[in-house]
Chain A
Amino acid sequence: SQKIEQNSEALNIQEGKTATLTCNYTNYSPAYLQWYRQDPGRGPVFLLLIRENEKEKRKERLKVTFDTTLKQSLFHITASQPADSATYLCALSSNQGGKLIFGQGTELSVKP
């Protein structure tokens, strides 16, 4: 069955450092991979989308890579700030506008 795994343990880093979150998947060939941010008691907020034929995507301090051979995506936040503290979810879909399958999320805590 399809499986998506993210860092299960919370990630604690110091302000200013780069946070790197991992998303691995098995038994799946996604056409799209997306990253969302979720704050406690709130709905997810879309951050970045990367397609299967793209290796890397950037948006301000965020960078996403997508390796379809390794079946892995890395999500980087550079110059991290305490305001970046949240749970980050990766989600995959197999076709345009199709349903998303979510990982369990990684909780990031950035200390001042």
Chain B
Amino acid sequence: GAVVSQHPSRVICKSGTSVKIECRSLDFQATTMFWYRQFPKQSLMLMATSNEGSKATYEQGVEKDKFLINHASLTLSTLTVTSAHPEDSSFYICSARDPGGKYTDTQYFGPGTRLTVL
């Protein structure tokens, strides 16, 4: 149980284009999902908390107009990187809580999306 998927697993795009990453909870409903970014050899940095049916809460320093988050259903959250630039190249990982599962306090992570902006 508590499986989270992400799509695509890797994407290469040109500078200035927009990229959408999907995060799905496969066997549970997630009212809250989280989006992280991880640079090589560094820790996961929380970008935003995505709440189903309401606006996302962004961490300090994260541009909400650049990283658009939509959580339209209990099993899907999307992150759109708008007008991507090479410095946005990173590993993007989502996670979700399973409020009805055995461990309600933990987060289950997706496999990540490697974004490379040329």
A97–B111 CB distance below 8 A: no
Task: Tell me which residues across on chain B come within 8 A of A79, comparing CB atoms.
Answer: none
In contact, A99 and B49 (Cβ under 8 angstroms): yes
Within 8 A of B (CB), among A47-93: 49, 89, 93
Pairwise interchain contact A43-B93, C-beta atoms closer than 8 A? yes
When each residue 28-59 of chain B gets 1 if its CB lies under 8 Å from chain A and 0 otherwise, what string results?
Answer: 00001010000000111110010000000000
Contact A49 B112 (CB under 8 A): no
B43 engages A34 (CB within 8 Å) = no
Given known A-B contacts A43-B112, A49-B103, A97 and B32 have beta carbons under 8 A apart = yes
Q: A41-B112, A42-B112, A43-B93 are in contact. Are A102 and B107 (CB under 8 A)?
A: no
Q: Told that A41-B114, A43-B93 touch, could you supply 4 new A-B pairs with CB distance under 8 A? A: A43-B109, A43-B111, A99-B49, A103-B43
Binding site for B on A (CB under 8 A): 32, 34, 36, 41-46, 49, 89, 93, 96-97, 99-105
